Structure 1
Amino acid sequence: MTHTTAARIALSWLMCTTATFLYAQDDTAFDLGTLRIDSADAQAVLGNDQISDAEIESRNPTTVADVFAGESAITASGGAPIAQKVYVNGIEESLLSVTIDGARQNKSAFHHTGNVLLDPALLKSVEVSAGLAPADQGPNALAGSIAYTTKDARDLLEADDPFGGQYTLSYGRNGQGFRNTLSVFGQTNGFEYLLSGTRATGDDYKDGSGNTITGTEADLTDYIAKFAYTTQSGKRLSFSASETTDSGLRASQSGFIRPDFAAVIGRDTVLYRALSQRKSYTLTFQDENPTGTFAPYAQLSYNEQAMDVGALYGINKSLSGVIRNEFTLRNGSVSVGLDFFDESAEGFDNSGSSRISNGREDLSNIGVFAQARQDLSDRISVSFGARYDWASFDAADGSSLKENGASVNGSVDFVLNNQWTLNAGAASSWGGYELGEAALVNYGTAWAYDGFATSRANAVRLGLRYENGPWSAKGALFDTEIKDINAVLPSGGARGHTDDLTSRGFDGSVTYTAANGFATLNYTYADVKTNDATTATTAYYLGRPVGHIFGLEAGYDVTPEWRIGGTAQVALKNDDTETTLDGYEVVNLYAEYKPQRMENLTVRMDVNNLFDASYASRSSDGLGLSNVVPLYEPGRTISMTASIKF
């Protein structure tokens, strides 16, 4: 698709959307209920899945990897929080649009660390889009999006309750240590507030074979403050600020931390007190009770992620915003708006008494978008949209580049009969430019930008879903192709080198829901290739060769007071890689007690890795490499958690 053709498609779509709105506009408020294309079941087949508050609570996460326990399409690497990365169908999150409470997040400052440091203590939900991100999800959503949402005071209080709090204490063996979270919150006359802090400390854990994994101790601090005011007519202004820090002793070789490896063959490992820190500030306005067709939303956010990795220090900064309105039509809605971001990546020499900048890159983008969601009939629902983006890039060598491009998407939900529904979707997304790795800007050699290009992704999904009584099932074939991905981690400083990435396969699930419990079996096969060869386990900022993954989650209410459940993940042996990757099976169980005489108290016991399996997560870095000792996951770990509300 040429830029001229893409531009015409996008602009034509915007004109048609505006005409549709003008034709349908009046002052009547329509009660549409939930559009079928927007229902959880329809979106799940299209790859847009939500991990709910109830699911997060049942998984009792202490790290972002725990949030995705029992999933198969979404996997995470292990180790300490500083090292954890998230993958969707084998594609790394740096190729997705990642937001926290709507605020755009930048990528990692160092390739041996995670992209977005997040503490799940107040996490409310996670929405994941695999390949088919709608136009109003934001720019650079090449392989989809991940949207984290945290809790507000009103999520933790009854409507007539002015004040409350919650204290959670957990302790675990095998290095997990102590974790304390204290939150206080209140509301009165439309004003609300929430203050929360978390502190987690521990020791290095042992894997299933009893080996101590150096540099994996828990040492995390998290603060969050949220304030909001909502008028009687539903106009809501909110502000949130958060700071999350991981500052533990991490394994380091030759002057650089590598918390994603257990060791590097031939290099001595020493401990270095590394730093990973994320700061975020977000101001949001929204009309939560709109009348007629006017439902505005506006947000301005700033975040930075800093990384002390030893000899180098890197920092990413991002200022972003969005203004949009969701126009209500008789058969659906149209979201129209504008968004922008202004980001930088800067690296510093960290070896002296003061840091000296090695270089900096800057990237800015302005985009306009429109996304329609409509029920065309009782059996057919559609979602379709487009966006157009203008990007400007300032390189570390002083040169500047500008480019623009269009993105389009469409999906349909077609009811075949009372049990079966067909879903199909396609998207072509312009990715623009990529910032390089902050810590390594101009490190060793000056970066060169010959051949520097913009990227584009094309994705399709075709699936079915089935519902009959307590049984439900869904499955979809997917194909995501991303072309001309800039060298974020350039070899020899060649930022103009590009890679092509594909992820093709199938994901599906079967769920049985009873009155007192449920069980879900997930399965994903993702064949991930870079430049037509199986993706390496150190293809940083690209993907991982996940292959066949099974996920299981179940829960059962034994009595009104007792609940038991668990998750499991099974990875089959993957021999598509240069060195065969071993399979593994890991099972986690829990028992939870909520006494009826003390409804504000919850006591829980978790047994993670019940069978003491010795394994490395399929999404981990360096698997199968002769010079790397992979980072194995914790062996059997028993923990207790007590939470009391007041």
Structure 2
Amino acid sequence: MTASLAAQAEGNVTQVDMQPISIEGSHIDNTQIIPTEQMTRNLAASVADVFRDQSVITIGGGSHNAQRLYLRGIDASNLNITIDGAIQGRSLFQHHGGIGSLDPDLLKRVEVLAGPGADRGAGALGGAIRFETVDAQDLLSPDQQSGATIRAGYYTADRSDHGAATAYTRLGSHSGLMAHIKGVNREDYETGGGDRVHGSAGRDRHYFIKFSLLENEGHSLRLSAERSRNSGLYRWAAGDGAYDPDAPLEYQINDRDTYIVNYRYHALHTPLVNLSLNLFNNENTLNNQTRNNETTSTGKGFELRNNAVIDWISSTHNLVTGIDYYTEDGEIYNNGERQGHRNNLNNLGLFIQDHVYIGRLTLSGGARFDRYETDYGRIAISGNEISPNAGIEVNIGKGWSTFANYGEAVRSTGVIPIGWLASAVDTPTFNAQTGKRSFGRSFRPESSQQKEAGFRYQARGLIRDADRFDASLTYFHNDIDNLIVQIGGSRGQPVTGFYNDDRVTSKGWEARTSWQSGRYQTTLSYLHAKTVDQNGDRITTIRRVGSNTGDRLVWDHVWRIDENMTMGYTLVAQAGLEDGEIDRSGHTLHHLQAQWQPASIPALSLSLAVRNLFDRSYSEQTTIGDDGATLEPGRDIRMMARYQF
């Protein structure tokens, strides 16, 4: 059912909102919108499923607790990831992925911001990903006071049962309240070769409640609370490494509790005031009950920004100014007693970003100031950094435009899991490891320099009357310097020091096109990316840093046959990769989707998705390991029934 929750606003008829990836307009920041209808058609069961059919993003890891996200070859640890503005914290343990546990059923909007920008938030070395959840008003038709939706589904690859219920109501003319609960029970999934992946079974539980006061004389207020839990018997050591069917399993529970306050004031009589305030508390806990240990992270913060529109002489300015603050504490407990250090990080940011529209010309410029402090053992490292950015886009006529961007970002920590930071000695060394270029240098925060350039093209009536065609071609180059790496920490040993590692670079190009005519839409995207070390050689998959894949093509089709029937087909082609020490085979996957709403029972909708139609045996190239890398699921027939009251 996923993001089709938001589609219920049109009464009892399931509307399929055909949303191409956002590549139109003067989007100098190159924001990409993940189509919610694509999540709906694929019956996305996890955050990983939200991105699986995107060329610019790959998901590696195989089993649920080891999945990792890579954007243009850069690990998600190097992104600023938020849910309704709440920053998602550091990795709790070395072998657990960090792409979150959000229920896709709740998503209204997903933005991928791969380019530079001062308003991306702290630590956005490779960009940002923003998740936005639905409001009760999104689920109610204009003349509806209250409603509810129940869902039940079954997925064959992991023999999983899915059940969910959502209730929503209006509280007066401007307010609404929604409550959501979901449960998933899965067994070990089956690969294309027919084998079961030992240690991939588990349970998911999601609880969500949200109050929303919208557009009351320019004021809006959203209050939400969420609990997401994943539990199961998983591997503890090398969870995302080479697959071992005989590895011992340990019972683990991963909880995320998030509390958010979002306030917005949009002045009705002036474009100079469009204020938003975001307050959040995000708690993550990994409890290994077999070992009786627990790793916790508590992150708190806020962001205050104003988006002013200013007309000046012959130009229009979209000026964003703001301040944000984030603090996070991490701890480890063994048998109920805290072990090692309680480590803290905090970051205060000030930012300004201006988009200036002058006829056919769009200029962008801004800067971000970060004041950071991070604990390493009993030593706190602090400092200040300024990160500028600039961009230009020129409309050259006949639907064509060209653009170029440059931007910088910094991060003081966040890449090293809490489990290792907590085990650091009181006075660790810094840049004292011989054989490294950083030897003897001052210890620096991680930093990135991003460059982008490309073209966009838009046309209407290109092939048929009233059709719509959008295309873009983007070259990118992102240098990440001073990567922070620990010394020690393996197999329970203490961390004795930290050093700045050598540069890693992600570079390449991506092409995206979308064509829509009437009830049919197709999108085609292609990514060619290389992640290389300081010598220009491709890196292998490195946790919390990056990875490499062969060229990746995704071709998606959706055809809305009539008001009651929608069908879709997606082709994912991953080229093989052989370069130096890297030798990974490619694969081609075919996915089918269908949605049907019986005319005689308009409150009922039935969905079918077949993932990996031809039962291909493969592993993602971003999964750690070569021939022994964990295989992905084989043919997965997903069935979902939804009834709306």
> Is the CA contact (8 Å cut-off) linking 1:334 and 1:371 kept in structure 2?
yes
Q: SS state of the match for residue 53, structure 2? A: coil
> Is the CA contact (8 Å cut-off) linking 1:512 and 1:518 kept in structure 2?
yes
For normalisation by structure 1, the TM-score amounts to 0.87
Residues 49/79 of structure 1: CA separation in 2 closer, same or farther (3 Å cut): same
> Is the CA contact (8 Å cut-off) linking 1:79 and 1:633 kept in structure 2?
yes
Residues 499/148 of structure 1: CA separation in 2 closer, same or farther (3 Å cut): farther
Calculate percent identity across the aligned residue pairs.
Answer: 25
Match of 1:357 among 325, 330, 339: 339
Q: SS state of the match for residue 551, structure 2? A: strand
Match of 1:214 among 187, 193, 198: 198
Q: 1:579 offset after TM fit, Å?
A: 3.5
Aligned length in residues: 593
CA deviation vs aligned residue, 1:224-267 (integer Å, no higher than 9, x gap): 111123463031122111111110121x3xxx3444246349xx
Match of 1:487 among 481, 485, 495: 485
Residues 600/127 of structure 1: CA separation in 2 closer, same or farther (3 Å cut): same
1:459 aligns with 2:445: no
Greater Cα shift, 565-574 or 484-493: 484-493
Match of 2:114? 130
Match of 1:639? 638
1: distance between equivalents of 2:33 and 2:520? 19
Alignment of 1:533-612 (within 5 A): 534=537, 536-612=539-615
Counterpart residue type for residue 456 of structure 1: S
Q: 1:446 offset after TM fit, Å?
A: 6.7
Alignment of 1:240-255 (within 5 A): 240-250=224-234, 252=235
> Is the CA contact (8 Å cut-off) linking 1:320 and 1:341 kept in structure 2?
yes
Alignment of 1:51-70 (within 5 A): 51-70=34-53
* Unaligned 5+ runs, structure 1: 1-37
2: distance between equivalents of 1:264 and 1:43? 50
Counterpart residue type for residue 130 of structure 1: A
1: distance between equivalents of 2:122 and 2:424? 32
Residues 592/577 of structure 1: CA separation in 2 closer, same or farther (3 Å cut): farther
Q: SS state of the match for residue 209, structure 1? A: coil
Residues 237/500 of structure 1: CA separation in 2 closer, same or farther (3 Å cut): same
Q: 1:171 offset after TM fit, Å?
A: 0.6
Q: SS state of the match for residue 586, structure 1? A: strand
Q: SS state of the match for residue 160, structure 1? A: coil
1:438 aligns with 2:423: no
Match of 1:140 among 114, 119, 123: 123
2: distance between equivalents of 1:45 and 1:55? 25
Q: 1:589 offset after TM fit, Å?
A: 0.6
Alignment of 1:495-534 (within 5 A): 495-532=498-535, 534=537
Counterpart residue type for residue 543 of structure 1: G
> Is the CA contact (8 Å cut-off) linking 2:486 and 2:497 kept in structure 1?
no
Q: SS state of the match for residue 494, structure 1? A: strand
Q: SS state of the match for residue 55, structure 1? A: helix
Residues 303/211 of structure 1: CA separation in 2 closer, same or farther (3 Å cut): same
Q: 1:283 offset after TM fit, Å?
A: 0.9
2: distance between equivalents of 1:481 and 1:580? 24
Residues 235/135 of structure 1: CA separation in 2 closer, same or farther (3 Å cut): same
Alignment of 1:8-407 (within 5 A): 40-42=23-25, 46-115=29-98, 116-132=100-116, 134-189=117-172, 190-230=174-214, 232-250=216-234, 252=235, 256-261=236-241, 263-264=243-244, 268-288=246-266, 290-292=268-270, 293-309=272-288, 311=291, 313-330=294-311, 331-349=316-334, 353-377=335-359, 379-396=360-377, 398-407=378-387
Residues 579/374 of structure 1: CA separation in 2 closer, same or farther (3 Å cut): closer
Q: 1:289 offset after TM fit, Å?
A: 5.4
Q: SS state of the match for residue 216, structure 1? A: coil
CA deviation vs aligned residue, 1:41-79 (integer Å, no higher than 9, x gap): 257785420113333323321111211132111111253
Match of 1:411? 391
Residues 130/324 of structure 1: CA separation in 2 closer, same or farther (3 Å cut): same
For normalisation by structure 2, the TM-score amounts to 0.87
Q: SS state of the match for residue 547, structure 1? A: coil
Q: 1:356 offset after TM fit, Å?
A: 3.3
Residues 120/382 of structure 1: CA separation in 2 closer, same or farther (3 Å cut): same
Residues 283/60 of structure 1: CA separation in 2 closer, same or farther (3 Å cut): same
Counterpart residue type for residue 482 of structure 1: I
Q: 1:613 offset after TM fit, Å?
A: 0.5
CA deviation vs aligned residue, 1:299-351 (integer Å, no higher than 9, x gap): 110102222356453222211101111122121321111110111222333xx
Counterpart residue type for residue 392 of structure 2: V
> Is the CA contact (8 Å cut-off) linking 2:22 and 2:33 kept in structure 1?
no
CA deviation vs aligned residue, 1:142-164 (integer Å, no higher than 9, x gap): 11100011111111112332211
Match of 2:434? none
> Is the CA contact (8 Å cut-off) linking 2:415 and 2:544 kept in structure 1?
no
Match of 1:34? none
* Unaligned 5+ runs, structure 2: 1-20, 432-442, 463-467, 490-494
> Is the CA contact (8 Å cut-off) linking 1:46 and 1:424 kept in structure 2?
no
CA deviation vs aligned residue, 1:513-556 (integer Å, no higher than 9, x gap): 22111111111011002343645444111011123111121111
Q: SS state of the match for residue 260, structure 1? A: coil
1: distance between equivalents of 2:68 and 2:194? 25
Residues 150/577 of structure 1: CA separation in 2 closer, same or farther (3 Å cut): farther
2: distance between equivalents of 1:180 and 1:147? 26
Residues 52/141 of structure 1: CA separation in 2 closer, same or farther (3 Å cut): same
CA RMSD of aligned residues (A): 2.3
Q: 1:563 offset after TM fit, Å?
A: 1.2
2: distance between equivalents of 1:230 and 1:455? 40
Q: SS state of the match for residue 387, structure 1? A: strand
> Is the CA contact (8 Å cut-off) linking 1:241 and 1:279 kept in structure 2?
yes
> Is the CA contact (8 Å cut-off) linking 1:474 and 1:508 kept in structure 2?
yes
CA deviation vs aligned residue, 1:190-238 (integer Å, no higher than 9, x gap): 2211110110002111111111101111411111111123463031122
> Is the CA contact (8 Å cut-off) linking 2:24 and 2:458 kept in structure 1?
no
> Is the CA contact (8 Å cut-off) linking 1:91 and 1:542 kept in structure 2?
yes
> Is the CA contact (8 Å cut-off) linking 1:422 and 1:464 kept in structure 2?
yes
Residues 80/57 of structure 1: CA separation in 2 closer, same or farther (3 Å cut): same
> Is the CA contact (8 Å cut-off) linking 2:160 and 2:184 kept in structure 1?
yes
Q: SS state of the match for residue 423, structure 1? A: strand
2: distance between equivalents of 1:124 and 1:478? 28
> Is the CA contact (8 Å cut-off) linking 2:26 and 2:393 kept in structure 1?
no
2: distance between equivalents of 1:186 and 1:551? 39
Q: 1:490 offset after TM fit, Å?
A: 5.6
